[in-house]
Structure 1
Amino acid sequence: MSVTLQVSMGELERLASRIGALGNLDTRPLMDEAGALLESQTRRRIDEEKTAPDGTPWEPWSESYAASRHHGQSLLNASGALLDSIAYAVGIGGDHVEWGSNLVYAAAHNFGLDMSLVGSRRRITIPAREYLGLSVENEEDLAALVDDFIDRQMEALQ
């Protein structure tokens, strides 16, 4: 009695061909999907979560500043301008995506600001309230998005 094992390289060659075809993919659609997800995650962080990507809660307003705010205003969302300015752009080559805000004061809120006004004894301090970046959950969402994209591409190659 004997057992025979026979290996056929045909299926491996077909798989290698499909994997090779993935190397030539137009990644613009993936970057567009990723940009939309990143924009959504950032807007949620500003509007609802009020935490840095690492989960650290943002520093609250000072008592005096809080007294000057109106009903419905919250950290980084007084007029809605910052929230509305969050956008993404896919790079020309389609191999990367950038997201953020083009508002002049956006970086001051994300990184913080501590400066003295010229010709004055006043000091302006804005604590960092990081809203750009990726949380662990955000990274997991992006990984799932990429996996889904690759699965769709592999199905299309069959």
Structure 2
Amino acid sequence: MSCSKVRGWLPAYLAESLGEEERQEFRAHVRSCPGCRRWLWQEDATVALALALPATDTADAGFVEEVLAGIHQRRVERALARKKQTWRRAAAAAAALLALGLAYERWPRSPRPQVVAQPAQEKLAPEPFVEVEGEGVRVYQLASGGDARTQVAFIVSPSVEL
């Protein structure tokens, strides 16, 4: 394998899009070629360190299944927790509404004025009475019973009477 080919394969290697045979060929060349190793250290030291590690078999199907089962289990647990939280929130809201309703019902209220229908009474004007009589003039004073603030007085000439 040539050094230029290895340098061209680096992005594909990092993206893990190379086939297993090409990956092995890439790793073997970097281990054996000091120029490519130096170039790789200059480009990305982390990748160079990772390539220096011995190759391990990551194709363990049991490991992948365990990881996927763990992910599935966490999703199920979250879904169940959400359902529990939903019921708890709904129960708390219902209890709060019930408490507010009972508090409103039992809250002391100020008494409202009661309107009582009373039979209509005709208000009759008080009888006029003559206060002063003399010299051909009559004075009539109209006053409501006991209300000294409101008084009306008429001075009538007898010649104008109807």
TM-score, normalised relative to structure 2: 0.20
Structure ID, larger Rg: 2
TM-score, normalised relative to structure 1: 0.20
Q: Greater helix percent: which structure?
A: 2
Flag the structure with more relative contact order, 1 or 2, with Cα contacts below 8 A and sequence separation at least 6.
Answer: 1
